[in-house]
Amino acid sequence: MDRKRDLAIVALVKAIAVAIVIASGFRAVSDDDFARVVIAQEFAHTPKLDPTGTSWLPFPFWITGAAMLGAGRTLLVARATAFVLGLLSAVLVALAAERLTKNRTAALLGAVLAAVFPWSARLGVATVPELPTAALALYAMASLVGPREPRARLLGGLALLGATLSRYDVWPIAAAFAALTTLDALRDQGRAFRDRALLFLAAPLAVLGPLLWVAWNHFTRGSAFDSLDRVAAYRRALGGEADAPLARLFAYPIAMARHEPELFSALLVLLGLAALPSLRAAARDALRPYARPLALALFQLVALSAALVKDGAPTHHPERALLVGLLLCALLVGDLAVTLLPRAGPKARLGAGAATIALLVFSLVIVRRWFRGEDFVPRSDEVAMGDAARALVPPGERILVEVRDYGHFAVTAAFGRPEDVVLDRDLDPRKPTSTSSFDAPENLPRRLADARARFLLGRTESPAATVLGPPRAVRGPFGLWEQPAR
């Protein structure tokens, strides 16, 4: 009963954190959020094994697309699915905390901290797979701790199957998990055959996702590493080569500390307490279960840093790729706080409190003010325009959408019928730049005929707006026009 209550508390705290994030105006991290919704909508319309045909892994689209098959292909359904996955992720982190800590209060505090730090809260509603992926990976890492329970290890391998089919950044963790699990199975000579068999099964299960994806790329695209080549080519096309190799090597750890300074400040203070002679034994006892998970998190950090040097890592928001490390840090903070603070003397607690306040002020005033990350893109006007177009454009009627930036994904996601959307041009940096027909009104009739569309959606300030007449709907700088049927 206590366990269920703790899990319910963590889920409730997560829901409150997400509600606060939404109330603050957050809607999406980047245009990728909307692009993923569009792909899930396409999957729900025409299901296929590889929903994207690009470098993105398929599992998140299977999940969101399945939800859309039952509840409708709307942006709201995608966001509701992300919210539910956020709650489930918080519960998974809490289950991992139970295994890593020796104290119920420590597990609860760590899981609550993991649910509320800013990036965790944002990703609890964003339509991207980082939080569920990190939670699955952390759950698997926790299964490496304590008694070698074959069932727990098998569940860890299954969790990594889902995680590795969601994001590439957990592939190093899966490889390390498989190696350690195989080593444990070889060591446990005295175990029953069934138990050892389950351990031997958990190891390949953890790396099955990467193996299947590489095989899929080999047989369908002609290159086993086609997806990774696409990521590198895209990064180079964006100008990623300008960064110095040394700067790239340390980009991930710097991003972690810069984007979650409060979390790292608390961890720094607690590690300072752990260095006190009177607290060293208790600290060692608390930290011992984290040895393997921390080793896997460090291995992931090194692997991603090396990949970044070779253009093979995510093109933006590097802190999201290491979310599993941030979640692990939150559990560490909760565990060390509950373990060390009651044992510390008055002077030590006073010093820790003063250091915490000083670091918190430094984090809020200096780090978050002067080292801001990328701005978020709610795309409110684009979403409003897509909603209006969905109500005005009959199903089956095509709509030509002006492309100025990647905001067209938000328009399409809100429209909810990507098969009826024709983009005016392609902005892929790997391809030659093309001109928008909205800048050349004389070309619009031919473009509409080629697209078999009689509805147009674009900016009211574009040159084409001067010859299209009054729009049927206007939302912010965007308008929707309808041309007479031919």
Higher pLDDT, 393 or 232: 393
DSSP letters, 145-174, are SSS--HHHHHHHHHHHHHHHTT-GGGHHHH
Q: What dihedral angle (degrees, nearest 10) is formed by the CA atoms of 425, 52, 416, 44? A: 150
Pairing of strands 478-482, 453-459: antiparallel
Query: pLDDT digit string (tens) for 376-412?
Result: 888 999 999 999 999 999 999 999 999 999 999 999 9
183-203 burial string, b = 16+ CB within 10 Å, else e? ebbeeeeebeeebbebbbbbb
Under 8 Å between Cβ of 383 and 410: yes
Q: How many CA atoms lie within 13 A of 285 on its CB side?
A: 9
Query: How many CB atoms neighbour CB 391 within 10 A?
Result: 9
Under 8 Å between Cβ of 202 and 181: yes
Per-residue model confidence (pLDDT) at position 206: 97
Measure the CA–CA gap between 422 and 389, rounded to whole angstroms. 13
Among residues 107, 101, 92, which one has the least CA distance to residue 155?
Answer: 92
Per-residue model confidence (pLDDT) at position 228: 73
Per-residue model confidence (pLDDT) at position 415: 98
Quote the longest CA-to-CA distance of the chain: 86
Q: What percent of the chain has pLDDT over 70?
A: 92
Query: pLDDT digit string (tens) for 32-62?
Result: 999 999 999 999 999 999 998 888 999 999 9
Under 8 Å between Cβ of 171 and 217: no
Provide the 8-state DSSP code for 290: G
Average pLDDT over residues 293-313: 84
Residue 442 pLDDT grade (very low, low, confident, very high; cuts 50, 70, 90): confident
Per-residue model confidence (pLDDT) at position 32: 93
Average pLDDT over residues 211-218: 92
Higher pLDDT, 230 or 345: 345
Residue 205 pLDDT grade (very low, low, confident, very high; cuts 50, 70, 90): very high
Q: What percent of the chain has pLDDT over 90?
A: 66
Higher pLDDT, 311 or 455: 455
Average pLDDT over residues 465-486: 88
Residue 157 scores a pLDDT above 60: yes
Task: For residue 304, give the 3-state DSSP assignment.
Answer: helix
* Mean of per-residue pLDDT scores for the chain: 89
Residue 125: alpha-carbon gap to chain centroid: 10
Measure the CA–CA gap between 331 and 336, rounded to whole angstroms. 9
Measure the CA–CA gap between 345 and 278, rounded to whole angstroms. 9
117 φ, ψ (degrees, to nearest 5):
-65, 150
Among residues 434, 175, 446, 463, which one has the least CA distance to residue 302?
Answer: 175
Residue 235 pLDDT grade (very low, low, confident, very high; cuts 50, 70, 90): low
Residue 319 pLDDT grade (very low, low, confident, very high; cuts 50, 70, 90): confident
Q: How many CA atoms lie within 13 A of 396 on its CB side?
A: 0
Average pLDDT over residues 59-85: 97
Q: If you search the block for the tokens 């959408």, which residue do you land on?
A: 401
Average pLDDT over residues 407-423: 96
Residue 370 pLDDT grade (very low, low, confident, very high; cuts 50, 70, 90): low
Per-residue model confidence (pLDDT) at position 485: 62
Residue 220 scores a pLDDT above 90: no
